[in-house]
Amino acid sequence: MEYEIARHRLVNLLSRDIHDPKTLAAISKISRELFVPPELRHLAYKDEPLPIGQNQTISQPYIVALMTEKLSLTGTEKVLEIGTGSGYQTAILAELAREVHSTERIPDLTEKAAKLLHTLGYKNVFIHAAQEDLGWQPAAPYEAIITTAAAPDVPPILLEQLAIGGRMIIPVGGRWEQQLLKITKTVNGIHTENLGGCRFVSLIGKGAWETQP
């Protein structure tokens, strides 16, 4: 009950800036406390990022909500997530999309997230160990791509995996500060919308950073 009350308060807070009812409903449904270390569960519904081990974080709920809302999911999409992490964003996407493919480069996080998402009953989620090349080519193209780590530029290999009419949300910039971009791929080219400043861990892989800072 304590977590439910805290979750309700968080959703009310987010609704001041997030207006997509499906995004808010997914956040209201999913127990964020399950995706953070036990010793941090009392902080699960603070609007702030939290460490999940391996120098990785679970993103601030507002950023999760913003990125999800800007994907404009209708329920028919096949989505690619780069950086499974705790699996929280993955679960949000699974509530709103037809199919979610998510890649993670850290084996311990891959195993934990896959186990938790399976326990929670998500049958439309497929967790993959990240390869040297970014993304997951076998299931491409995707109607939506979300990247939960920051790249110095928009990786061309991810643009190749994005379907015409598809949307990509990705943080782009330096190691410590970035701009959150919405990329829309059209028959006439790429349209870019800047959603504002953000801070994410570095995206590691060919077409992004080679190593962590």
DSSP annotation of 76? -
Active site residue 31: no
Residue 5 forms part of a structural domain: no
**Enclosing domain of residue 64:** 49-198
Catalytic residue among 15, 28, 59, 202: 59
Statement: residue 55 has pLDDT above 90? no
H or E element that contains 57: strand 56-58
Question: What is the distance between the alpha carbons of residues 80 and 158, in angstroms, rounded to a whole number?
Answer: 10
Q: How many domains does the chain have?
A: 1
- Please tell me the pTM assigned to this model: 0.95
Q: Is the pLDDT of residue 213 over 70?
A: no
Has residue 210 been placed in a domain?
Answer: no
161 domain-assigned: yes
Six-digit token string for 186: 């059209």
Q: What is the DSSP letter of 122?
A: -
| The pLDDT of residue 132 | 86
Nearest to 146 by CA among 171, 128, 115, 109: 171
Q: Does the residue 27 lie in any domain?
A: no
For 56-76, the DSSP string reads: EEEPPHHHHHHHHHHH---S-
Q: How far apart are CA 185 and CA 141, in angstroms?
A: 12
CA R_g for the chain: 16
| In contact, 87 and 116? CB cutoff 8 Å | yes
Question: Is it the case that residue 1 has pLDDT exceeding 80?
Answer: no
Q: What is the CATH number of the domain that holds 190?
A: 3.40.50.150
- Residue 35 is assigned to a structural domain of this protein: no
